[in-house]
């Protein structure tokens, strides 16, 4: 049996109250395992991003629990959740969230700087992680000088710089053409997935679904099906 990386139970999240109340995620339970790439798919408004935010310690659920490596994250204080997220979770946002006035190496180094690492050491680690994603020669450029695919790789380098056990991707191919998007997901699977890491990826992109180990289908805040992969892309 694979080791469990994330175990969510009874997650529910709503916004508003009374007649304006909208339930985004309803009594949602699932687990993600180490060594697997789990995709979450579903139509817009089905609760995918809300789910990601709850399991990554960004958005507090109204009810339910999230255990990461047997730590119930929502029982922690706000400061401890932030620290746990910084050490254990690498989050790659849909729009990259890169700082335009920083170089790519400085962008990648941000998590280490937040952890208290010395500036020069953090930047050097940033450069090493850019090399991992194939951007060694882009370290001193600002994000505006990079293509969309390159900016996505910078975001990935920043997500892995702390060597997190959990990696979460929110629509990583949304702003990319088909070939670039597939190459990004192939890189993530081939280079970043291992027996000590779990990767969760939300997507609308049918062209990359064959990279998943399991696909969790959401609708109206609930799981409607879970599909096990038959084979993967080479």
What three-state secondary structure class fits 78?
helix
What is the pLDDT, as a whole number, of residue 232?
53
Tell me how far apart the alpha carbons of residues 210 and 223 are, in angstroms, rounded to a whole number. Answer: 19
Tell me how far apart the alpha carbons of residues 195 and 36 are, in angstroms, rounded to a whole number. Answer: 8
What is the pLDDT, as a whole number, of residue 234?
47
Contact by Cβ (8 Å): 190, 232? no
What is the pLDDT, as a whole number, of residue 178?
83
Distance of CA 193 to the CA centre of its chain: 13
Q: 227: which residues sit within 8 A by CB, 6+ positions away? A: 214, 215, 217
Query: Which of 167, 196, 161 is CA-nearest to residue 184?
Result: 167
Burial class (CB in 10 A: 0-12, 13-18, 19+), 32: buried
Ranges of the chain with pLDDT below 70: 230-234
What is the pLDDT, as a whole number, of residue 94?
80
Q: What contacts 24+ positions apart, CB below 8 Å, involve 44-48? A: 44/204, 46/218, 46/219, 46/220, 46/221, 47/13, 47/218, 47/220, 47/221, 48/202, 48/218
Q: 198-202 and 214-219: which strand pairing?
A: unpaired
Q: What contacts 24+ positions apart, CB below 8 Å, involve 119-124? A: none
What is the pLDDT, as a whole number, of residue 224?
92
Q: 35: which residues sit within 8 A by CB, 6+ positions away? A: 2, 3, 193, 194, 195, 196, 197, 198
Residue pLDDT, tens place only, 139-195: 999 999 999 889 989 999 999 999 999 999 998 888 888 888 899 899 999 999 999
pTM above 0.85, yes or no: yes
CATH fold group of domain 4-98+165-228: Rossmann fold (3.40.50)
What is the pLDDT, as a whole number, of residue 231?
54
What is the pLDDT, as a whole number, of residue 229?
78
What three-state secondary structure class fits 37?
strand
Residue ranges of the domains in the chain? Answer: 4-98+165-228
């Amino acid at each position: 049996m694979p080791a469990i990386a994330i175990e969510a139970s009874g997650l529910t999240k709503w916004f508003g109250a009374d007649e304006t109340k909208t339930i985004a995620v309803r009594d949602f339970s699932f687990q993600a395992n180490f060594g697997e790439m789990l995709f979450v798919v579903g139509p817009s408004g089905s609760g995918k991003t809300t789910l990601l935010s709850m399991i990554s310690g960004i958005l507090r659920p109204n009810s339910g629990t999230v255990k990461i490596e047997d730590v119930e994250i929502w029982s922690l204080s706000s400061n401890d959740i932030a620290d746990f997220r910084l050490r254990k979770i690498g989050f790659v946002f849909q729009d990259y969230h890169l700082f335009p006035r920083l170089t790519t190496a400085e962008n990648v180094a941000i998590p280490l700087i937040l952890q208290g690492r010395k500036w020069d050491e953090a930047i050097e680690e940033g450069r090493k992680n850019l090399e991992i994603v194939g951007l060694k020669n882009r370290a001193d450029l600002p994000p505006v000088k990079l293509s969309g695919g390159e900016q996505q790789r910078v975001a990935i380098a920043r997500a892995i710089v702390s060597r997190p056990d959990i990696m979460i991707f929110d629509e990583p191919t949304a702003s990319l053409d088909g070939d670039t998007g597939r190459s990004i997901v192939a890189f993530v699977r081939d280079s970043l997935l291992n027996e000590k890491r779990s990767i969760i990826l939300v997507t609308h992109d049918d062209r990359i679904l064959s990279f998943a180990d399991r696909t969790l289908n959401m609708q109206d805040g609930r799981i409607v099906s879970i599909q096990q992969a038959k084979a993967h892309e080479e």
